[in-house]
Structure formats: structure tokens, C-alpha cells
Amino acid sequence: MSTDASAPATTSPRRHLPEAPLLVAAAGGTPSRTPVWFMRQAGRSLPEYRAVRAGTAMLDSCFTPDLVTEVTLQPVRRHGVDAAILFSDIVVPLKAAGIDLEIVPGTGPVIANPVRTAADVAALPRLEPEQVAAVAQAVRQLVGELGDTPLIGFAGAPFTLASYLVEGGPSRNHERTKALMYSDPQTWHALLAHLAETTTTFLRAQLDAGVDAVQLFDSWAGALSLADYRELVLPHSARVLAAVADAGVPRIHFGVGTGELLGAMGEAGADVVGVDWRIPLDVAAQRVGPGKALQGNLDPAVLFAGWDAVAGEVGRILAEGRTAVAEHGTLGHLVNLGHGVLPETDPDVLTRVVELVHSS
Ligand SMILES: Cc1c2[nH]c(c1CCC(=O)O)Cc1[nH]c(c(CCC(=O)O)c1C)Cc1[nH]c(c(CCC(=O)O)c1C)Cc1[nH]c(c(C)c1CCC(=O)O)C2
């Protein structure tokens, strides 16, 4: 993450945030406090989010820079988290490229014409950077307003995007996706290569506008065996992560149910590996190996269990994070949930978690 003094001057608007706890922890330094943020902190449980979004469809919101800016800032103001995450969605670059899809409240992304054949894959539109100009504009506004708080940009990884495109919507078993993967590997690789390019273009647009870190969400990769992940998915995610390495910002790589994949997800080129709640952080540290940071891993459902339970779990996770750093060569610990904030979560509990982590 160092910059080469001989490199040509860059026009990057990226802020210089040498003290930001999240960036320090990700790089293996000693942060002034343990950093904490929450996946899906923007939106979901906040009444001020529901108020400002009322009457605007989710995807329309994502292309409205003032609304993106406001929703992204809300959890930073309310909770004092150590990072903002851009309010957007993993299907935004697909929509921007011209794919007919909607986000249906309570369901998730729904694709009008699922992608299932070689001809479907060949017909997929390419994403041009100007098609996500509204997202870049929101990023520029945000870096002007965030002070010292880092802004995390993000994108969906090729496998998770492919699952939505092939299934046509959310899926429990990913059976059509796996059917394509096993029956026609050539078309599968063509699809993932296309999506890797889309994802790279989307992340580059955010990086060029000034985001301070990126997270690649491979939310559903945990549906795969390690062998299949390595052969059919990892090379495409690795290409995305390599293509943004020159930005010099932390690259976070996360999926749900990925206990068996953590080492491979780190090898794909992550600086920080996200861990869900199914394995302890000190065990995750051994699977990931030394030289990377870890993010996680409070079960979002624990936030419903009353403060004693929450405080106990946060304490355990902080201790396991310290063990990872002290004994397993982990660079740092970014406290987070093991998956996104659930919609019915009491926002005050999130604020108390931030206070507890910061005072520990
Ligand atoms: C799989 C996935 C999606 N979107 C995303 C993922 C990967 C993360 C994960 O695993 O949870 C990523 C995402 N989606 C959203 C963000 C915003 C930033 C943040 O707060 O983390 C992020 C990082 C906003 C959103 N994306 C969505 C909402 C809810 C829309 C609303 O408020 O009407 C928000 C705030 C819609 C969405 N979009 C998607 C789902 C499953 C849903 C939920 C559907 C529902 O239950 O209503 C696809």
C-alpha cells in the first residue's frame, strides 16, 4: 500500500487518511481504537432511511447522488462507525449496463430474462464507466463530506452476480447456476469473465472518484465446495482483485458460509478476509494464514438477544481477534457483523456496540 515516489502525479481525489483506524488496522498498524462498521448499515434498520427513501424505488435511489450521499452518511452520524459504505447494490452495474432487472422489496433482485445459454451470455451488454457516472458523482460528494471517515466502495463478485442472473432472482440452492457450471464450463467461464469485467469497471469508477477501500461481496460462494470454488470461481474474482490492486487501498473479500473457503478467498488477492459467525476468528486466522487482516464476525441475530448477550459476544470476538493478531500473524481486526444488519434490528443496539468496541 505504499506509493512510489517516482510514479507520475495522479489525478486521484483520494484523501490522505493516515490515522483512520480502519485503514491502519487493515494495513497491519496499531490503530488508535479498534475499528467497527456494519455490513448493510446504510438503510435497513434506520427510521431516517425509511423516511428519506419513501416513494423512491431502491434502484432509482442508487442513481440519485444526493440520496446516495444522505443515506450513506446516516449511519456514520448516528452510530459513529469507523467507515461509511456507499449506499448502492451489487446489481447496480448490471442495471446500468442495460440489463432488465428490479429490486423487489422483501425479495431482492429479480431479472426479467435469466441468462442460461451461450447465446444469452454472448448478448450481455458491457458496462461503460459513464453509465455509472451518478455513482461516481455520489462518491465525490461523499469524500467531500466525510471528514476523516473512510468510504468503502463495493461490488458483487462474479459468482454471486452470476447466481442472480442465471436463477433470475434469489435462490436457496443455486441449482440452475450449478447446472450451467457443471454442464457447460465454457459458457460458465465466459459468463464469469464478462461479470469480472463489469465488476472491475464498477470498482474502478468508485476508486477513480475517491473511495478509500473496496469490498468484493461473494455472498453466496459458501454454496460451493473448495475444489469447485478454486476451479470455477476463484480465477475470476482474482482477476477483479488484481485489476484494482494498483489503487493501493484495502481490498476486503467476503462471503457467507465460507469457513471452508477462507484460505482460497484470501489467495484470490484480498488484504482483508470477511468471516461470518460460523467459525471463531482465531480459527479463521489459521485458515487464512498470516499477512492479512480479518473482518467480522458477530452474528446479526445476536443483536436481538438483549444487551448482556450482545456484550458477551462482542467481548469474545474482540478477544479472538486479539489472539489472531498475537499468535497467528493476522495483520489486524475490523469488527463487523458476520452478514448484513437484519431489517428489524434496534439501531440503538448498533450504537452501543460501536461504543463498546471503541472503549475496549
Ligand atoms: C446479495 C446482495 C444484494 N445486495 C448486496 C448484497 C451483498 C451483501 C449481502 O450478502 O447482504 C449489497 C448491498 N446492498 C445494499 C448495500 C448498501 C450498503 C450497506 O449498507 O451495506 C450493500 C453493500 C443496499 C440494499 N439493497 C437492498 C436493500 C433493501 C431495499 C429497500 O430498503 O427497499 C438495501 C438497503 C435490496 C437487496 N439487494 C440484494 C438483496 C438480497 C436485497 C434485500 C431484499 C430485501 O430483503 O428487501 C442483493
Q: Is 229 a catalytic residue?
A: no
Atom of ligand 1 nearest to the CA of 38: 21
Q: Are 312 and 270 in contact (CB under 8 A)?
A: no
Q: Which amino acid, one-letter code, is at 334?
A: L
Taking alpha carbons only, the member of 96, 93, 46 closest to residue 71 is 46
| Rounded-to-integer distance, Cα 328 and Cα 49, Å | 40
Residue 274 beta carbon below 6 angstroms from any ligand 1 atom: no
Q: For residue 240, what pLDDT is reported?
A: 98
Task: Please tell me whether 219 is known to bind a ligand.
Answer: yes
Give 132's DSSP letter.
G
Please report which helix (H) or strand (E) contains residue 293, including its range.
strand 293-298
- Determine the pLDDT at residue 11: 58
Report which residue type is found at 357. V
Report CA-CA distances (Å) from 214 to 59, 85, 117, 156, 196.
21, 9, 31, 11, 15
89 CA distance to ligand 1 centroid (A)?
6
Residue range 34-54, pLDDT digits in tens: 999 999 999 878 999 999 999
What residue ranges of the chain have pLDDT lower than 50? 1-10
pLDDT at 5: 42
Map out the domains of the chain with their CATH numbers.
36-359 (3.20.20.210)
CB-based contact 218:157 (threshold 8 Å): yes
- Check 49, 78, 82, 164 and give the catalytic one: 164
| Model pLDDT for residues 138-194, shown as the tens digit of each residue | 999 999 999 999 999 999 999 999 999 999 999 999 999 999 999 999 999 999 999
Q: According to the 3-state scheme, what is the secondary structure of 187-224?
A: HHHHHHHHHHHHHHHHHHHHHHHCCCEEEEECCCHHHC
Out of 49, 53, 208, 271, pick the active-site residue: 53
Predicted complex ipTM exceeds 0.90 = yes
Does ligand 1 lie within 6 Å of residue 341's CB atom?
no
Ligand 1 pocket test, candidate residues 39, 40, 69, 218, most atoms within 8 A of CB = 40
Q: Flag whether the pTM goes above 0.90.
A: yes
159 within ligand 1 shell (Cβ under 6 A): no
